[in-house]
Structure 1
């Protein structure tokens, strides 16, 4: 069995092992990490032999930690990373390069159609009708996109939204509200088979699926890091946030919105951002939470998107693709019947 795990912001960890009578056997941990003393790697491998194949990541990490000699230095990885890699080997998790990735950078669409496409394309990947896909969104109009479980009345001032021509919609994933305007944000979705995140905790899968974009941002000079659970941030402030939905078909929807040149004053008029949320983020004003990519890179929005796509292809491969006419038709129908309705919007009043 073979498993790999790229530590977010760290190094690659690899585990090869066998299972004999329900126990780990012939465990060989490797990777491009740094470890001192060298002999600690043998200590890790020896300790993992005989561990139950049903052990969870916490148990495996504890075994690794207890096997380390006093003063051992682990750089670019951790006992938890080794545990995650072992679990990915045991669950036959797939790697990025096991798939023929499709890349879509589509035309501007209405917010409800965009959300419907997310559901349609994720379902198609889960049912094997579409290969795993990365899609860059283009917004046709301003919008507030609520998380699946957010209260409409608590989050949005609908009168102000109507005044500024901001459509209010609700997505199928959880998380917080997003405020977007055309050309002001960079939004992308990943539609992935469940096997790609096999062996990862729900929390770990967020950073795992966004590691490629962090690498792109760092190459552009942004000190981007992942702040659990779902924020992409830098020393200058928050850049964006992620959300996920796992469908019954087994596929995972992972989407992210990053601010490029956000109108913060309009955002705080439309969104009801409470004091507790601002305090939780360690700021005193909503404007300070929005740190546009333009101010940190000096690049155009399209230049940043192009570099993101270039980075993804270099790391994982990818072929240019399009939404099919059938997928568009299904999305438009779903937008009309679900995402544009007051019933869906008010599912949490």
Structure 2
């Protein structure tokens, strides 16, 4: 069909929804919904298509879901998807969003680097993607020292016990994304960044993009025997507890790009963590150190695998799903990142910009 828009949305932990449609005179026409979901009865699919026919093209996902829910026959069962998931797929179709497999992914996994350089690399590589000079990139970090990384808008003195950090040799840095503080130690943490074009998350709200960009990790963990799910707004959890937290930063230069980075707990020194993080101590003051281990449940215990193997399996899962070739930080990118690391990300002004 001429002028057809195609949109796809993989429900986190669920099924794929595919929508093809035409936009004519500001409304949806010729809507056809498909996917690997389960739906009963069969005629419910016609009801979904009919509910979307003629809808204003600027209707948001919730509005589209309301139309669908009102049109479904009594007793209809949707498994692995929802009316809102269909609405999101429609929004992505209208926005002509890109799909993961539209890109030649670069995968970077280099040696240990200092915390400030990791902060700078995130900014530089995402900027390069926005400018169209770099392919979308998955970068797995390695740490050369213990660190606390606070969110862009967190108060330094409220989050970090500076005496505790100094006593344990923990470097404190501030990242460009929001969210909460991260306590990391070499060998105990798995951290990665996705630097992606804005087109990949077109049609998704800010909150929806978190789940969308985390979905591949749920599959990778599932392949290792862990049933994990996305927990709004920015956590990945299992029935044993939280195992990861995500944060994002949007870059508006060029064609736009999104930085989505995730820290996963492979192992954790809970006693040290609450001596360094004030907020962690306050949250756990009435429950003790044992509760800290429960709040963040390490992958080491849940997988029984060495950290290096967990990372290898994660990368293999990503490649199997989206492709990807081995990449590297270019000399020019590294030079710019080192400049930012030594300046902006090591400056007292940046670290204490929210005192």
Q: TM-score range by the shorter chain?
A: over 0.9
Aligned to 1:86: 90
CA distance in 1: counterparts of 2:294 and 2:38, whole angstroms: 37
| Per-residue deviation, residues 175-200 of structure 1 (Å, max 9, x unmatched) | 00000010110000000000001111
Preserved contact between residue 275 and residue 281 of structure 2 (Cα < 8 Å): no
In the alignment, which of 300, 309, 332 is matched to residue 303 of structure 1?
A: 309
Preserved contact between residue 278 and residue 284 of structure 1 (Cα < 8 Å): no
SS at match of 2:149: strand
Aligned to 2:29: 25
Preserved contact between residue 8 and residue 16 of structure 2 (Cα < 8 Å): yes
Matched, 1:77 2:97: no
| Per-residue deviation, residues 7-51 of structure 1 (Å, max 9, x unmatched) | 001000000000111110000000000000000100111111100
Aligned to 2:187: 183
Matched, 1:98 2:98: no
SS at match of 2:54: coil
| Per-residue deviation, residues 175-227 of structure 1 (Å, max 9, x unmatched) | 00000010110000000000001111111111111111110111111111111
Preserved contact between residue 105 and residue 324 of structure 2 (Cα < 8 Å): yes
Matched, 1:226 2:226: no
Report the TM-score, using the length of structure 1 for normalisation: 0.97
> In the superposition, relative to structure 1, how do residues 275 and 69 fare at CA in structure 2: closer, same or farther (>3 Å)?
farther
Aligned to 2:9: 5
Preserved contact between residue 6 and residue 96 of structure 2 (Cα < 8 Å): yes
Within a 5 Å distance, the mapping from 1:161-200 to structure 2 comes to 161-200=165-204
CA distance in 2: counterparts of 1:226 and 1:20, whole angstroms: 36
> In the superposition, relative to structure 1, how do residues 276 and 160 fare at CA in structure 2: closer, same or farther (>3 Å)?
closer
| Structure 1: tracts of 5 or more residues without a match | none
SS at match of 1:273: helix
Report the CA distance between 1:290 and its aligned residue.
Answer: 2.1
Report the TM-score, using the length of structure 2 for normalisation: 0.96
CA distance in 2: counterparts of 1:62 and 1:153, whole angstroms: 46
CA distance in 2: counterparts of 1:289 and 1:228, whole angstroms: 16
Report the CA distance between 1:106 and its aligned residue.
Answer: 1.1
Matched, 1:287 2:300: no
CA distance in 1: counterparts of 2:282 and 2:171, whole angstroms: 25
Aligned to 1:324: 330
Preserved contact between residue 104 and residue 136 of structure 2 (Cα < 8 Å): yes
Preserved contact between residue 273 and residue 286 of structure 1 (Cα < 8 Å): no
Report the CA distance between 1:328 and its aligned residue.
Answer: 0.7
What's the RMSD between the two structures over aligned residues?
1.4
SS at match of 1:262: coil
CA distance in 2: counterparts of 1:256 and 1:328, whole angstroms: 21
Report the CA distance between 1:275 and its aligned residue.
Answer: 7.1
In the alignment, which of 178, 202, 205 is matched to residue 209 of structure 2?
A: 205
| Per-residue deviation, residues 138-168 of structure 1 (Å, max 9, x unmatched) | 0011000000011100000011101110000
CA distance in 1: counterparts of 2:283 and 2:347, whole angstroms: 28
Aligned to 1:339: 345
Preserved contact between residue 274 and residue 281 of structure 2 (Cα < 8 Å): no
Preserved contact between residue 265 and residue 287 of structure 1 (Cα < 8 Å): no
Aligned to 1:268: 274
Structure 1's consecutive aligned runs of 4 or more residues displaced over 3 angstroms after TM superposition are 274-279
Aligned to 1:139: 143
Preserved contact between residue 102 and residue 131 of structure 1 (Cα < 8 Å): yes
CA distance in 2: counterparts of 1:274 and 1:289, whole angstroms: 10
